[in-house]
């Protein structure tokens, strides 16, 4: 029982740290709209990977994975959309 709780909290700690580490760059990008240094291909693959991690977490009921990837997917999708939109606009 105690091991299960430790495993669960380890997952939440990992999910929180990785999501929080993404926030400053995402906030800067969304605030400045500077996407010049962002690779569309990399962000596309990253966004798809995040969506798949979210789907996997939902399938197995790993709520730490679900929470982290839901937040990251929103941020990554926003940045990808901005990159594509601004690139298309010229």
Query: Which residue, 17, 24, 15, is CA-closest to 69?
Result: 15
What is the set of domains in the chain, with CATH numbers? 2-89 (1.20.1280.290)
| % of the chain beyond a pLDDT of 90 | 88
Identify the sign of the CA torsion 74, 79, 82, 83. negative
> Tens digits of per-residue pLDDT, 17-60?
999 999 999 999 999 999 999 999 999 999 999 999 999 999 99
Q: What is the mean pLDDT of the chain?
A: 93
Longest dimension (CA), the chain: 57
pLDDT at 90 over 90: no
Q: Cα separation of 51 and 72, whole Å? A: 9
């Amino acid at each position: 029982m105690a091991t299960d709780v430790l495993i669960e909290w380890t997952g939440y700690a990992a999910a929180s740290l990785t999501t929080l580490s993404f926030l400053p760059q995402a906030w800067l990008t969304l605030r400045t709209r500077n996407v010049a240094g962002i690779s569309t291909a990399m962000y596309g693959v990253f966004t798809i990977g995040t969506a798949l991690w979210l789907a996997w977490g939902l399938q197995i009921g790993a709520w730490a994975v679900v929470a982290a990837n839901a937040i990251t997917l929103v941020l990554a999708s926003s940045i990808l959309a901005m990159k594509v939109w601004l690139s298309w606009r010229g």
